[in-house]
Structure 1
Amino acid sequence: GVARLRGDLSEFRGEFAASQELSEVQDILEGRMLAAQQDLSEEMRRLLARQQRRPPDAPVGGIPIDSEYVIFVIDTSGSMSSYTWSLVVQKMSQTLDIYPHVKGIQVMNDMGQYMFPDTRRAWMKDSPSTRKRIIGALDAWAPFSNSSPVEGINAAIQTFYRPDRKISIYTLGDDFSGRSIRAVV
């Protein structure tokens, strides 16, 4: 009996010592991890402080975003509305986000038909409500389309081009049947 109890006691002491050593190792590792995390946090703050903000008129993907006016020419053909319309809405929202404020916005389809006929041949004033109205109208907008942006691009240029205006024309579509876009513009 006593020998067995001494053996059990010895075994428990061994397990306790091993457990205590493991706990000490865990404490050391935890301390090192906290120090490393703190070093990383300090490095992140240092890097973020050094990070330069992109000037508002810096190019995005090589495209200057200094335009004062933005025109969207959107392919409203069946292939677009059936398969990629959610992407059109997403890309249009992203493009508008790049331009926090412009002097005017216009939206027409690839045939040159205006999204809002009451704004025909005129700029829509930029505002949060105008942007919301445009994005909201996309879901129900489905005028006839021949799936080629040529007519819309020509209408946009002929109607809105002025030498003193910085205008961007964004064409959203899934098909261009012409030989060269240069011939269009």
Structure 2
Amino acid sequence: MNTPNKLTCLRVIMIPFFVFFMLTDAAGSAGKWIALVLFIVASLTDTLDGYLARRDNLVTNFGKFMDPLADKLLVCSALICFVETGKLHAWLVIIIISREFIISGFRLIASDNGIVIAASYWGKFKTVSQMIMTILLIADLGGVFDIAETVFIYLALILTVVSLVDYLWKNRQVISMQD
């Protein structure tokens, strides 16, 4: 197993620990900071594994499948924790998670038809906004950061919808192949 794939597996392994520290008081007040560090490190492994895979020509079928799955598991885990802790409304999380399922299904259909769909800038902006939102919500610094949290919650929601519409529109030929 190459280094990028090991980093992807590490990200998946970190998720239960992240959730544990998000949802329990086992570490007392340090729990949220441990969860924050785990989330940031896991997010950075995503950037690093993609960079290494492209730089060293180590792109594999395992990586193509597991990397986006690991990303979705990490983000969805955080979002579900925020519903549990009362930091996000369930309807908002449902919209964001639904987008991920729709895109995943769409990619499977495209793949079955021999089409590879690249990520768009809207999707990248969506991911960055979700990561910043997650970091702000975990840190929960209060004060002016409460405004930043709210801004990033709605920015992430808007970019989620915009990136979905953009993705479906640009790749509408995939849907027409199913008729």
Taking structure 2 as the reference length, the TM-score comes to 0.33
* The structure with more strand, counted as a fraction of residues: 1
More relative contact order in 1 or in 2 (CA 8 Å, sep 6+)? 1
* The structure with more helix, counted as a fraction of residues: 2
Taking structure 1 as the reference length, the TM-score comes to 0.32
